[in-house]
Structure 1
């Protein structure tokens, strides 16, 4: 039974790495963040075991060039630069990419890194992805969501962006991933809605990006016709879920389509903020009672 793994991989071994795992049906069975290679390996051993893997890694995977920029990054920037989703150059002059940590991870676990190799019961694969352009295509954005820590972004503005991000994920992938009933997802929604300090949001970035990567791994496995490989196996590549129309005006909405469950989720977050002693499940039940759902 194939596992779909998303890894928001830190370039070095001192920053946090997000890891998310989907089961064979696409349901999110684990998400967290760790630091060391050994911790990543332990998580994979626990939640993947010997099952075949389709992994989507947000980190340079194939980096043969000594200097400069890979063609994959040029192509990403050409297609997605107008959405503020250009790619950072990777080359072997950067010690983090000589060799790339992602390449070492894939080799350690026996994952094929050639995008021409399709996964099956006997073949595990890994591809390089990049969440920002993926979100542009998946969510229909005209600009990347400003949820990450950057100069000039305060907690209030980032919290608003986080709510958009999570609403988009619920809308696009929530049913497949089983997010409405996932306790960890409820904790993430509560933590972002009630954040008071930058660190309250920072500690969740890698984990949620990994969930996006895991969804991309599922798409690579089950809906390959949607996926586009920018670059080559020899020179490096980045996989994206489609390309924007070069003639399309930047007028696509950044707010999600109307979500009938959004009000309920916000109500649960508000209850948890006022009564932090409750579990997410208890808060959901309380909201259901108050709204009359259990009395109908």
Structure 2
């Protein structure tokens, strides 16, 4: 079983991509990179997941947007439950500039057999896709009092927050079930320039997405929250500290 994380560029910017492989109970990081064009992202997915293989793809983008205006139900629920952590998500509707791109990406995945899975029977092979949101996932997985603010602000401040995220991934995710083996990945120093920092941010976000995919497949609703459903749009978020709390 493979788990793909896609930190999708909502406009034309690059997307972070991560692939985890579960073999005999061991979850291993096998690829971590970025691609620009949607066609290249899909080719990368096709490379890692053959037509007869099972996989769950977690996308950080609104792939289901039923509403023409305003906000989706899951968007509102992130503010309700995670606003105190500064982890409410950006509202999505069909009239916003990014909507066509993100919706079509979900449809491309569906055409490859990846069905939306706001409900799942844990540890059942298949081809699935879900929407995820790294900020509340990071808060819950690592027991934080607020999000790590690595997306906005001075480069030096963003870098310090990314260093924290890097450390949490390397030190804490290997202690969870399923345990993540990083291998020789993530050994480079967090960069100092804005462009390189953004590339690192995209990759680490995609790795969080991929781990949430594995956590959802492994535990289902026992250790995850689902905000919304297939009709309203939905976001899958792990519960706290890897314990189901």
**TM-score, normalisation: structure 2:** 0.88
Q: Partners in 2 of 1:89 and 1:177 — Cα distance?
A: 32
Aligned residue pair count: 231
Stretches of 4+ aligned residues off by more than 4 angstroms: none
Question: 2:10 matched to 1:11?
Answer: yes
Equivalence map 1:145-164=2 (5 Å): 145-148=148-151, 150=152, 153-164=153-164
Question: 2:43 matched to 1:47?
Answer: no
Q: Partners in 2 of 1:173 and 1:139 — Cα distance?
A: 9
The answer for the alignment partner of 1:230 in structure 2 is 227
Q: SS at 1:214's partner residue?
A: helix
The answer for the alignment partner of 1:57 in structure 2 is 59
Candidates 107, 112, 117, aligned match of 2:115: 112
- Per-residue deviation at 1:172? 2.1
The answer for the alignment partner of 1:167 in structure 2 is 167
The answer for the alignment partner of 1:197 in structure 2 is 193
| The structure with more radius of gyration | 1
Structure 2 contact 58–209 (Cα < 8 Å) conserved: yes
- Per-residue deviation at 1:177? 2.4
Structure 1 contact 60–102 (Cα < 8 Å) conserved: no
Candidates 81, 84, 106, aligned match of 1:82: 84
- Per-residue deviation at 1:96? 2.2
Segments of 5+ residues of structure 2 without an aligned counterpart are: none
Q: Partners in 2 of 1:102 and 1:78 — Cα distance?
A: 27
Question: 2:209 matched to 1:209?
Answer: no
Equivalence map 1:224-263=2 (5 Å): 224=220, 225-242=222-239
**TM-score, normalisation: structure 1:** 0.73
The answer for the alignment partner of 1:290 in structure 2 is none
Q: Partners in 1 of 2:104 and 2:87 — Cα distance?
A: 22
State the Cα RMSD in Å.
Answer: 1.8
Q: Which has the higher strand share?
A: 2
Q: Partners in 1 of 2:193 and 2:68 — Cα distance?
A: 40
